[in-house]
Amino acid sequence: MTAKWQKYEEFNSNLLKKLGTRIVKKHHKGKRVDKLFSFSNKVNQNLIYLGEILVVGLFSFSTLIFGNGTSLANNTSLVYPVDEVSKVECRIKHWSELDADCKMKLPIIEGANFAKYGADPLYTNTYTVLFGGNYMSGWDMENGSHYGVDLASSKGTPLYAIADGKVFFAGQQAGYGNVVKIQFIYKGKMYFSTYGHMDQILVQTGQPLMKGQKIGMIGNSGTTMGGLGGNHVHFEINKGDFGRPIYPFGQCSEAKKSGIETINNGLCREQMFKYGQDPIAFLEDAKAKRPFDDHPREVPLPDNKTYGSTGVDTGSTLEHNVAPTVPSPAPSSPVISVPVQANQEKPQTSKLIIDTSALDNNGKAFFDEWSVDLTGDIASPIKKNQTRILTLTIKNKKTGQPFNGILQQPIILVASSTNVTIDPVAISLVKDGQVEIKVQGNQVGDTYTAINLGLNKVASLNLSVF
């Protein structure tokens, strides 16, 4: 039976890899961001993703032919999906490049007491969007429909299985990017844990897992909005009552074609609670520890130790330069500006042309005080499979001093197609007035890229791949 089961898992994994990749490529190519969410909604009307339909079908077939080869352990304890995270000022670097001073143990929202920690940047800069929050105010859990928690850290930060279980799905899915979904049982009840926007996946569909086993690394794949600096894991707890993870917006008539609009308007909250639950509350109810904690929980670092450990900026200096932390009011129609088609405007040759007409007063005030530009070669075509480095610069218009700190509203780069990959796509943390942006050519063709402050476009550029 073991040999047959192994052959089945190999067949299942290879088939999913081939079919899933084709599905993702087919439906991503040349699509707008909001079209991706629209596609996800349609696919998820009954079963969540085509790859997962295949999993469900083959899983049933294997049980019929081979017997119950998928019995899961009944977990009585859980761990968090992350053990350590990077400090906010270090997130522009890859995890592998960080020294010990740039890393810290994951801060724990003890007892899921969000009110207690909501004013502490150590927590709000780590857990950037909570369950029920939105992209305008990540900790406002009453007025959004974000169906997971966004946990920010550097690209390459290790991710771990929260329980003994089995990989239900590992691969690419629209919106999620690289995603792993783990089936597990906790106190006699089945659940799924979902890890979205991963950089690398280290497990395969059908693979058994042990609690605390490394499954991959944090990244910024798929369609992302949460997470300072872009890199984060979108982590969900999905109820197992339906035999598979259910995408809540696919079951909701109120859902808009853009998932971002749905989340920011707090639509489909009934479905959010029906098919999932607050991951932090779930883990805290289980008294979960960090994966490598063999001792009682540590007391988090004081606020003034959150920044400044690199010796470049002291905590007080960086905090002094941070933009105001009070979120600006949501626009009357909070829909992110997305590209419609390539070549809408002439290619930029030197400086960006900034248009602040669509911004609120806070956004306009920011551009009145700060000069924002994108330097590097933004005019000539990019060769396929090559990477070009651009630099976003922000300086004070009067003094010339570089911006240091966290932007009140993130700068977001939204491409019209997958001809190019942009990393990071969401920029919140700026150090010494600069952020390095990597643009990789994937497919031959033109890509129009909108540059947004928050949800509104302020500039654009055309990128061509040959």
Q: What is the CA radius of gyration of the chain?
A: 22
Decide: 257 and 35 in contact? Cβ < 8 Å: yes
CB atoms < 10 A from the CB of 183, how many? 24
Superfamily of domain 74-305: Glucose Permease (Domain IIA) (2.70.70.10)
Q: Choose between 124 and 17: higher pLDDT.
A: 124
Task: Decide if pLDDT at 453 tops 60.
Answer: yes
Q: For 44-81, how does the pLDDT look when each residue is reduced to its tens digit (9 = 90+)? A: 333 334 445 444 444 433 333 333 344 788 999 999 99
Domain limits, the chain:
74-305, 361-465
Second-level CATH architecture of 361-465: Sandwich (2.60)
Report pLDDT for 257. 65
Decide: 279 and 239 in contact? Cβ < 8 Å: no
307 Rama class: left (phi>0) / alpha (psi -120 to 50) / beta: beta
Q: How far is CA 446 from CA 30, 84, 280, 415, 421, in A?
A: 10, 39, 42, 10, 12
In degrees, to the nearest 5, what angle opens at C-alpha 249 toward C-alphas 247 and 251?
Answer: 85
Burial of residue 350 (number of CB atoms within 10 Å: 0-12, 13-18, 19+): exposed
Mean pLDDT of 243-264: 84
Confidence tier at 299 by pLDDT (50, 70, 90): very low
Q: How far is CA 205 from CA 20, 23, 181, 182, 421, in A?
A: 12, 17, 9, 9, 26
Look at the pTM and tell me if it is higher than 0.85: no
Task: Decide if pLDDT at 270 tops 90.
Answer: yes
> Do the domains at 74-305 and 361-465 have one common CATH topology?
no
φ/ψ of residue 25, rounded to 5: -60, -40
Token pair in block for residue 335? 């829909």
Task: Decide if pLDDT at 91 tops 50.
Answer: yes
